[in-house]
Amino acid sequence: MVIEGARNEDEGIVAELYWASRNRPGWRKSRQSLISFNSRQMDRISFISPDGKEAAIFFDITGFFGKM
């Protein structure tokens, strides 16, 4: 998922969690890591579904990474 319109890291984090709450209701965040891929910055966020399964969602954060 590409995060667009976030002006800084705080807004970007809110956008990631908002996307997850709208598209994966009931899932809870379990861990997160930063990945560089093809000159892009990605957040890999693992979530636990309501039935206990783990899944990762990759967010492209290049547009706001490092901006305060």
Distance of CA 39 to the CA centre of its chain: 17
Quick: pLDDT tens for 8-28: 999 999 999 999 999 999 999
Whole-prediction pTM: 0.88
Rounded CA separation 29/51 (Å)? 14
What pLDDT shows up at residue 26?
96
Strand 40-48, strand 54-60: pairing: antiparallel
